[in-house]
Structure 1
Amino acid sequence: MEEENVILVNEADEPIGLMPKMEAHEKALLHRAFSVFVMNDKGETMLQQRAKDKYHSPLLWTNTCCSHQREGESNIEAGKRRLMEEMGFSTELTELFSFVYKAPFDNGLTEHEFDHVMIGTYNAVPNINPEEVANWKWMHPEEIKTDISKNPEQYTAWFKIIFERFYDHLMQNISTS
């Protein structure tokens, strides 16, 4: 199987080239990515535990799914594709915000991403892909925030960064609606 390319971007999210995913992570080059948060009607967020054979952050908890857009693919198309590949379901997604972050890992790789954060709604049981996902659960955002502060080692580096912004976004929109 051929390694997937990521879209290298500048700070304005303008594409500047393609590069194999591992090479971009080894060189810590800025590339386009997305993070999907799925919530249910009870206000809970679906978390996934990464599969034990993932090349980084195995068995850590993270957002519903995340990955990299393919060339010519919109953010929403990419989010829907990966949601189906990892969690086995489809739902409408809305892009909430985007930002740049950098998260180094113990294995020498670095996530340096222009991340597009999306949200969707789903109320059923996912059909997880065991090659991607070890487990899943629903948690209220307040519970996630508390658990991250008590057990930060159980969560992916990027999720701790992204969740802070996601949580702030949720709280601002709850207080203004």
Structure 2
Amino acid sequence: MPITPATATPSSSNGTAEAILLELVDENGVTIGTAEKLSAHQPPGRLHRAFSVFLFDERGRLLIQQRALGKYHSPGVWSNTCCGHPYPGEAPFAAAARRTFEELGVSPSLLAEAGTVRYNHPDPASGLVEQEYNHLFVGLVQAELRPDPEEVAGTAFVSPAELTERHAQDTFSAWFMTVLDAARPAVRELTGTSAGW
């Protein structure tokens, strides 16, 4: 697995993990600085840049993932295909493609921008706050998944009806429905009306 700030492995000369920095933004998505990842998520949260990816198979089913139990934030919950934070100065598109490969071991066969959404979602389980300016991406996946168990506990391809059932039974990330609803116009354009999104 590639070692990146997103995977936070000990790499400094004294053996401690290097700080993971996020890009702080204003309400228009303009970069105004950086903050350490965990501190940016402490209440009340600091507005920072993020991305969310929604990948679909040839049948128009959405790939969702269950976050690994070892994650510090929202462990074990289901969420969209991939989500995360660009490095400071990294283009959101590049970050989305990079993290999709790092987490799921696959590169999208198609990835397209699908707009942005701004939200503030407290996570009741962890007490952390997602205050994000989120860049949305939709695409297709055709290759076999090879999830990194440090990042992903499970995956599933779901139709809209199956997602509705799962959402009623399982715990999903606090931000999931917000980002999915914001991405729906691009999802419908990608999958066609027959997929039901």
Give the deviation of 1:170 after TM superposition. Answer: 3.1
Residue of 131, 154, 157 corresponding to 1:112: 131
State how 1:34-113 maps to structure 2 within 5 Å.
34-91=51-108, 92-106=110-124, 107-113=126-132
Q: How does 1:1-177 map to 2 (within 5 A)?
A: 1-27=17-43, 28-91=45-108, 92-106=110-124, 107-148=126-167, 150-151=168-169, 153-167=170-184, 169-171=186-188, 174=192
Alignment identity in percent?
36
Q: Indicate the RMSD between aligned Cα atoms, in angstroms.
A: 1.7
Deviations 1:105-138 (A, max 9, x none): 1222100000011012112321100000011010
One-letter identity of the residue aligned with 2:30? E
1:172 & 1:131 partners in 2: Cα distance? Answer: 33
Count how many residue pairs are aligned between Structure 1 and Structure 2: 173
Q: Which protein shows a greater Rg?
A: 2
Structure 1 segments unaligned to the other structure (5+ residues):
none
Contact conserved, 2:106 with 2:143, CA < 8 A, in 1? Answer: no
Using the size of structure 2 for normalisation, the TM-score is: 0.81
Secondary structure at the counterpart of residue 99 of structure 2? helix
Segments of 5+ residues of structure 2 without an aligned counterpart are 1-16
What is the TM-score with the length of structure 1 in the denominator?
Answer: 0.90
Task: Return closer, same or farther for 1:169/1:119 CA change in 2, 3 Å cut-off.
Answer: closer
Whether contact under 8 Å (2:116, 2:182) holds in the other structure is: no
Q: Secondary structure at the match of 1:83?
A: helix
SS in 2 for 1:26: coil
Distance 2:117 2:87 in 1: 19
How far apart are 1:44 and its partner, in Å? 0.6
Question: Contact conserved, 2:138 with 2:186, CA < 8 A, in 1?
Answer: no
